[in-house]
Chain A
Amino acid sequence: MQSEAEAPVVEPRDVEAAAVEIDGVEVSYGAVQALRGVTLRVAPGEIVAVVGPSGCGKSTLLELVCGLIEPDAGRVRAGAAALMPQRDALLPWLSALDNAALALRVAGVARASARAAAHEHFAAFGLEGFERARPAALSGGMRQRVAFLRTLLAGRPVLCLDEPFGALDALTRLQMQRWLEGALAREPRTVLLVTHDVEEAVLLADRVALLSPRPGRIVSVLDVALPRPRARDARAVVELRERALGVLGADAAVSAGNGALNDSAPEPRS
């Protein structure tokens, strides 16, 4: 952990340590089965999106990869993973700079060097001038960028992004999707991106895994063999999006043109 902290934001050194292998995993919370027989592989440097309705166990999948929970059955092997939780989880009493540097502080880096390391990225992240701003003073998009920088600075080869743009308005979300695409091109990582937005998945990912409603099973994996950057109105993107929605059985439930699945019912856990 210490060595990772001293060399933040570098290309993952050990390629094998950057892979994720999930084999026949089952997870239950009491009587509720969250995941049933999920098998998913993410190659080093690959971006895989996991799409499904609310409560299908998407977040549980990330918790498994980050080692926060153990599966009831099956096996998870993954390189060291950094989690970007749903709702940025920025600490409201810390400045943007200190929030971005949090992972480094936890890894034992001294405050001044952690801040300096975080500050190097502020310009590229469009955060320059907001170093001392508290999260409450930042826009939604900026908060997500701070949270993403914090995740990146954890120096881990695998990133687990849990609905990173779920709380943003449509326009900001589009901008942030483009921004994330660029950021990952500059800082390649193995990425597991959980989202309920099919369009977001098709725009950003190399492959899209489609999960069924609870208990979550992978019903299909789509290859998105399209050059980047992808336009959301490109024919191939639209076709893939419609195919994914068809597989998820959402044709009837979702109005055409809207890529996001509606949340069907209140869920005890997303």
Chain B
Amino acid sequence: MTAALALLALVGGWEALVRLGGVDPLILPAPTQVLDALWEDRSLLAPDLWATTYEVVIGLGAAVLAGAALAVAMHLSPALRRALRPLVIGSQAVPVPVIAPLVILVLGFGLAPKVLLVALVCFFPITINLYDGLRAADPDARRLLRSLQASRWQALRLVEAPAALPNAFTGLKVAAAVAVIGAVFAEWAGAERGLGRALLTANGQLETARAFAATLLLFLLAIALYGACALLERRVVDWTPRTGPGGP
């Protein structure tokens, strides 16, 4: 409710600024003009939206697989933890816009470089949150499993992994929110389709309203992805109370 009001105020202010302040729509189109462009160019933008969604979803999936594997490996092996941690952290210092063209050069214009770059942006929050979650399991439950002579694998499967799920979903939601950035940079470096590509061409043709329309779609895509992850979380992590303290 308050979110809707805040949005309304922002959009209303923006519209008023452009209409009454006489801002050149080439520099800042009014929200209504953006919606117009979105409707006019819908046949142009729909394939772009589809292409970017596809890249982002596949990339996010790859990030989940890679991130989970990394987190579990680092959790189970102190040697791997020492070896991998600097690399995992360092990977976030890699400037994606700079390496994107290199990745495109090596992997071509297809899906692979987009997936790789989305995964590069996304795996870090997944890995770090899951890793922390695996360590945060209840010490009493760990002791219990040890007293039952549980194997390392059983401790992971029965206690640590379920206990880490709430954390893992936090990481996944962060990843979902930033995933589109990776896709946009990848498309800027070279793509036939995609919202990032649409942004670039619209800017080149001084179609500012269409560029804003593409940005709006990116915005909505990020929100939808985040919402899907939050929904999945509520279905999977159904033992923690929604509000208040507690949880494992």
Chain A positions within 8 Å of B, measured between CB atoms, are 1, 63, 66-68, 81-83, 85-87, 89, 91-93, 102-103, 105-107, 134, 136, 154
Contacts and interface: CB of A to CB of B under 8 A. Distances in A.
A67 B143 CA distance: 11
A106 B158 contact: yes
Interface string B126-150: 0000000000001011011111111
A91 B148 contact: no
Interface residues of B, number: 22
A83 B144 contact: yes
B147 A66 contact: yes
Given A91-B158, A102-B158, 16 more contacts: A63-B143, A67-B147, A68-B147, A83-B144, A91-B162, A91-B248, A92-B239, A92-B247, A93-B248, A106-B148, A106-B149, A106-B150, A106-B154, A106-B158, A134-B239, A136-B246
A82 B146 CA distance: 10
Nearest to B151: A106
Contacts of A105: 158
Majority-rule SS of B interface residues: helix
Nearest to A150: B144
Majority-rule SS of A interface residues: loop
Contacts of B177: none
Contacts of B150: 106
B240 interface: yes
A68 B143 contact: yes
B147 A82 contact: yes
What 8 pairs between A and B have smallest CB-CB spacing? Answer: A89-B140, A83-B147, A85-B140, A93-B239, A106-B148, A66-B147, A106-B150, A93-B162
Interface string B63-90: 0000000000000000000000000000
A43 B162 CA distance: 39
Contacts of A103: 148
B53 to A, nearest CB: 32
Contact of A83 (B138, B143, B158, B159): B143
